[in-house]
Amino acid sequence: MVAGLKKVMKKGLGEMGFNKGGGSINWFPGHMASATRAIRDRLKLADLVIEVRDSRIPISSTNRDLQPMLTGKRRIIALNKKDLANPNIMHKWSHYFESCKQDFLAINAHSKNSVQQLLELAEFKLKEAIIKEPTLLIMVVGVPNVGKSSLINSIHQIAATRFPIQKKKKRATVGPLPGVTQDIAGYKIAHQPSIYVLDTPGVLVPSIPDIETGLKLALTGSVKDSVVGEERIAQYLLAVLNCRSTPLHWRHINTKGFEENTNDKHEYNVRDLLRNRRKPPNLSDVHYIEDVVTEVQRTLYVTLSEFNGDLDDENDLEVLIAQQFEALQKALKIPNKASEARTMVSKKFLTLFRAGKLGPFILDDVPDVSGS
Ligand SMILES: Nc1nc2c(ncn2[C@@H]2O[C@H](COP(=O)(O)OP(=O)(O)OP(=O)(O)O)[C@@H](O)[C@H]2O)c(=O)[nH]1
Ligand SMILES: [Mg+2]
């Protein structure tokens, strides 16, 4: 199955390379080179590093260039966004990290409980230093958009309940696109000893040798969509879902409820998923999001189950993906004539995936550590 996926990726991406000088695509923004240098400098001083990765891609969200420095430090790998990752497969990753003797924790940066557990592990790792040192530095590093600043805000919030921090509490800026944090900033979370956590800009390596790693980073939002193009990312997502037969698990989807609602004229925009997180959701919006998800899943189930080709064959897989783009256009009610229809389909489809509406996923395979 994977053979078709690999060929489709190569064909779809053509000559595109994930490297600094590759074509006209500037995917390694200028600030990243200087940020990487600044992070390296500060790492020398750090007493503990929390390396944040994305739970959906525990290996692909590694910054390989920083690894030699990180392995020489007290380090915790925080696999963030665990709410978006398949918990059954996460168990296998737990075994993997344990077998590597690497301290790690799967977390959700928005959950106080989860962050509390991470803080307990950090405190445990620092217990000797806490007795000796008057000041300690914890650095939070990772590729863009994995949730470093969200984690810092949660840590800071928990710290504020333990001791009065500053008069006016600083908050790290958080956002759905990569590249939000551009400067290193410190947040005091304890005194006696004084403990500071440093938020850092997300940094990637200047060259990603493997196309699939680049696509996974794009799919999970570490690389800007405009760099790879929404269509390519959506095509990759469809290829992954088909090759894993995921849509066949959606055969139970009840189409009846959807058909009953199709006459309703309510306008629904998938982008609304990302807005107004704090506002309680309007019940009718919730129903419409559910309807859209149902219809997308049903569409992918029908197209895959009726497909007679060979998913190992790149051409067959491409035909299926083309059919699915057309079917999704109808499912998402994008007008036939829209010149940007494929881009619109891709954007909406990606938004659903990224919000976890298509279910939890882990895209990386657990490395084989049996030594065979
Ligand atoms: N579902 C989910 N979303 C999260 C979680 N943590 C952060 N996010 C979201 O992920 C997006 C990126 O979060 P940030 O905290 O800005 O990520 P960052 O690593 O600081 O990003 P850069 O500063 O660009 O490197 C935001 O939309 C957050 O709300 C999590 O545990 N689960
Ligand atoms: Mg940030």
For the residues of 74-99, what is the DSSP string, one character each? -EEEEEE-GGGS-HHHHHHHHHHHHH
Answer yes or no: is pLDDT of 1 > 50: no
pLDDT of residue 209: 76
Query: How many Å apart are CA 336 and CA 350, to the nearest integer?
Result: 20
pLDDT of residue 31: 85
Largest CA distance in the chain: 69
pLDDT digits (tens, 9 = 90+) for 166-200: 556 789 999 999 999 999 999 999 988 999 999 99
Ligand 1 shell residues, CB under 6 Å: 80-81, 83-84, 108-110, 142, 144-150, 174-176, 178-181, 201-202
For residue 99, name the pLDDT band (cuts at 50, 70, 90): very high
Question: Residue with the nearest Cα to atom 8 of ligand 1?
Answer: 147
Provide the percentage of residues in the chain whose pLDDT is more than 70: 81
Mean pLDDT confidence for 95-123: 96
- 46 or 207, which is more confident: 46
For residue 3, name the pLDDT band (cuts at 50, 70, 90): low
pLDDT of residue 39: 97
For residue 66, give every residue at least 6 positions away whose Cβ sits within 8 Å of its Cβ, in sequence order, or none: 36, 39, 40, 43, 141, 203
CA–centroid distance, 214 to ligand 1, in Å, is 19
pLDDT of residue 156: 93
Query: How many Å apart are CA 206 and CA 28, to the nearest integer?
Result: 6
pLDDT of residue 163: 73
Residue ranges, comma separated, of all CATH 3.40.50.300 domains in the chain are: 29-199
Answer yes or no: is pLDDT of 264 > 50: no
Question: Residue with the nearest Cα to atom 1 of ligand 1?
Answer: 81
Q: The tokens of 218 are what?
A: 């794009």
Torsions phi, psi for 198 (to 5 deg): -105, 125
For residue 271, name the pLDDT band (cuts at 50, 70, 90): low
Q: The tokens of 227 are what?
A: 């760099």
- 169 or 57, which is more confident: 57
Question: Residue with the nearest Cα to atom 13 of ligand 1?
Answer: 147
* Helical residues (DSSP H) of the chain, grouped into ranges: 2-13, 30-43, 67-71, 87-99, 112-125, 127-132, 148-162, 211-219, 225-228, 230-243, 255-261, 283-305, 314-331, 341-354
Query: How many Å apart are CA 124 and CA 122, to the nearest integer?
Result: 5
Query: How many Å apart are CA 274 and CA 131, to the nearest integer?
Result: 44
CA–centroid distance, 359 to ligand 2, in Å, is 25
Answer yes or no: is pLDDT of 215 > 80: yes
Q: How far is CA 276 from CA 109, 148, 258, 272, in A?
A: 18, 21, 25, 8
pLDDT of residue 65: 93
Range with the poorest average pLDDT among 15-24, 57-66, 110-119, 199-208: 15-24
Ligand nearest to the CA of 185: 2
For residue 210, name the pLDDT band (cuts at 50, 70, 90): confident
Query: How many Å apart are CA 328 and CA 235, to the nearest integer?
Result: 12
Q: The tokens of 371 are what?
A: 């030594």
- Fold classified for 29-199: Rossmann fold (3.40.50)
Substitution candidate for ligand 1 out of 57, 90, 151, 174 with most atoms within 8 A of CB: 174
pLDDT of residue 166: 58
CA–centroid distance, 80 to ligand 2, in Å, is 13
Question: Residue with the nearest Cα to atom 23 of ligand 1?
Answer: 181
Residue 313 amino acid letter: D
Question: Residue with the nearest Cα to atom 32 of ligand 1?
Answer: 81
